[in-house]
Structure 1
């Protein structure tokens, strides 16, 4: 299956935003070693994609809320069908269908952005001065030459941390500068990726289902750590896209989570005596905090009679009358 349609779509959005910034007077030439028109074109590629996917993102939050509300029923099914995995999966799918909850919706926005990421990655890899004079998915020769020379603080947006000496020579770039700029951006990319996952888990809580909790841990720790290695092959322009996307996600999640707050959690269970028993709470790392010690009811003390005070019921202390 050809992915040219993705490359053409990404190129069209990039060129449209570049033309817009160029038309309003943003300098296309390097200012402080940066071609801001091309940098802003990448930034607003993110804005365009996220605006298009915003309805899907709202559905993701609503689906997560529905999954949270179903956790007690899911746990009951797990206890009921312990050891019978096939029946358990069937019952859980029926529950999700009945309540219109989709466990896969939580990952859908990320999956929909993968083609955009891959498209930009492919397009930026083609920005090699060795390809000058060639067309690039609807680009003119002038646009191609302008983009291939674009840089961020003198580091070409087509360069990467792992660029070879030959690639750096073709780009006319300083290897140390490219490594410093790319290295800083990779660290920022890792940090913002961690924060986006942490923000969501703090608001929604850890899942009760072990499989879903494993996915949460993978999103929180696994993906940011993997970027330390894979970030070396990402062009600087792609890392700019990723960091911008993360920052946009942080703001968008904050707004949506305020508008659609998590369902209230039960603070405790009521026993037969009518007293509320405090339940242990879970921290971000999944550890369980001990429940606070129950407060013992205090019985009010009845003060005894003070020395020299008259008895409360003097009749009881009187001698019995004689029978005459």
Structure 2
């Protein structure tokens, strides 16, 4: 299947943003060694794509919440059909259909971003000044736009250069190898850190999965993917790394907002705070009577709590049926002193 439509779409959005910043007056030439119109074009390419995918992201969170709420029922089905995988799968699918939960929805935003990432990777990788003018005008680029983007820099490092660029590639770009490696290395480390933080933020809010396989996937997402970027990041053009870092920062802010609006489901059997404990009328719990509140004394000092009178069990003090009544006066009369 041809991915040209993705390359055209990515190029169109990037070129529109560049044209907007250029029209506003952002300098297209280098300022502090940076062509800011192209850098801002990449940053707002991320914003555009994330705004488009935002409804899908909300559906992802809602699907995750629905799956969390169904965990007790899923465990009950697993216990009921233990050893009968075929019946278990049918019952699980019926449960998801009845409750309108989709397990695949949790991965949909990530799958939708994969072709976007590879599209941008291809477009930026295509910005090679050594190719012929015929190929420079692919995907809706004019010759002038291509030459301007191919010459775009971030702090004197071309955005099409990579940490692992060869000496010949750097010479074709007219770049300094040390500058490219330092800047690309810093950006790759930031990319790894922000990738780790996005996964960590979600896990801290939703909690670790109880299922061993799901927990293993969570650990892979938390530690495996950031570590893999240490190697694969050397193959990414600087422009792609800028896209990735911006995307991660946007994700951190977006997740924080969505997790507040759609908080994780409180599972049954989970520890609850003291404020969430059930109480009877009058503000007293069944087995934990509420103590009198401490009032502030002079100069804000806390006064000692008022003593609580002991509870007397009147049933235990009542005479048993058939027992001889006792005269309380005789019971409390002092014993006669012995005669001398």
TM-score of the pair, normalised by structure 1: 0.83
Shift of 1:301: 10
Shift of 1:87: 2.3
Alignment of 1:119-158 (within 5 A): 119-131=119-131, 133=133, 134-158=136-160
Shift of 1:212: 2.4
> Which segment is superposed worse, 130-139 or 261-270?
261-270
Q: Which has the larger radius of gyration?
A: 2
Q: What's the counterpart of residue 178 of structure 2?
A: 176
Instruction: State how far apart, in whole Å, the 2-side matches of 1:317 and 1:98 are.
Output: 74
Matched, 1:69 2:84: no
Q: In 2 relative to 1, CA 215–258 (structure 1 residues): closer, same or farther, beyond 3 Å? A: same
Instruction: State how far apart, in whole Å, the 2-side matches of 1:87 and 1:172 are.
Output: 64
Q: What's the counterpart of residue 315 of structure 1?
A: 330
Matched, 1:55 2:55: yes
Shift of 1:265: 3.5
Instruction: State how far apart, in whole Å, the 1-side matches of 2:332 and 2:215 are.
Output: 74
Instruction: State how far apart, in whole Å, the 1-side matches of 2:87 and 2:217 are.
Output: 23
| Secondary structure of 1:131 counterpart | coil
Shift of 1:88: 2.1
Could you give the per-residue CA deviations for residues 199-218 of structure 1, whole angstroms, max 9, x where no partner exists? 11111112233332222222
Q: In 2 relative to 1, CA 268–236 (structure 1 residues): closer, same or farther, beyond 3 Å? A: closer
Q: What's the counterpart of residue 161 of structure 1?
A: 163
Q: What's the counterpart of residue 233 of structure 2?
A: 231
Instruction: State how far apart, in whole Å, the 1-side matches of 2:91 and 2:287 are.
Output: 34
Instruction: State how far apart, in whole Å, the 2-side matches of 1:227 and 1:275 are.
Output: 54
Instruction: State how far apart, in whole Å, the 2-side matches of 1:85 and 1:165 are.
Output: 57
Instruction: State how far apart, in whole Å, the 1-side matches of 2:39 and 2:21 are.
Output: 10
RMSD of aligned residue pairs (Cα, Å): 2.4
Q: What's the counterpart of residue 104 of structure 2?
A: 104
Could you give the per-residue CA deviations for residues 192-237 of structure 1, whole angstroms, max 9, x where no partner exists? 0111111111111122333322222221111111111110100000
Match 1:247 to one of 246, 249, 254: 249
Instruction: State how far apart, in whole Å, the 1-side matches of 2:168 and 2:55 are.
Output: 45
Instruction: State how far apart, in whole Å, the 2-side matches of 1:240 and 1:169 are.
Output: 22
Contact kept in structure 1, 2:157 and 2:179, CA below 8 Å: yes
Q: What's the counterpart of residue 2 of structure 1?
A: 2
Q: What's the counterpart of residue 80 of structure 1?
A: 80
| Secondary structure of 1:137 counterpart | helix
Aligned residues: 286
TM-score of the pair, normalised by structure 2: 0.79
Instruction: State how far apart, in whole Å, the 1-side matches of 2:115 and 2:139 are.
Output: 16
Unaligned runs of 5+ in 2: 278-285, 289-309, 313-326, 336-340
Alignment of 1:272-291 (within 5 A): none
Instruction: State how far apart, in whole Å, the 2-side matches of 1:67 and 1:275 are.
Output: 34
Q: What's the counterpart of residue 283 of structure 1?
A: none
Shift of 1:136: 2.7
Q: What's the counterpart of residue 218 of structure 1?
A: 220
Shift of 1:12: 0.4
Q: In 2 relative to 1, CA 204–30 (structure 1 residues): closer, same or farther, beyond 3 Å? A: same
Contact kept in structure 2, 1:185 and 1:239, CA below 8 Å: yes
Instruction: State how far apart, in whole Å, the 1-side matches of 2:129 and 2:87 are.
Output: 60
Instruction: State how far apart, in whole Å, the 2-side matches of 1:237 and 1:318 are.
Output: 100
Instruction: State how far apart, in whole Å, the 2-side matches of 1:62 and 1:202 are.
Output: 17
Q: In 2 relative to 1, CA 14–34 (structure 1 residues): closer, same or farther, beyond 3 Å? A: same
Instruction: State how far apart, in whole Å, the 1-side matches of 2:311 and 2:287 are.
Output: 22
Shift of 1:83: 2.4
Matched, 1:187 2:202: no
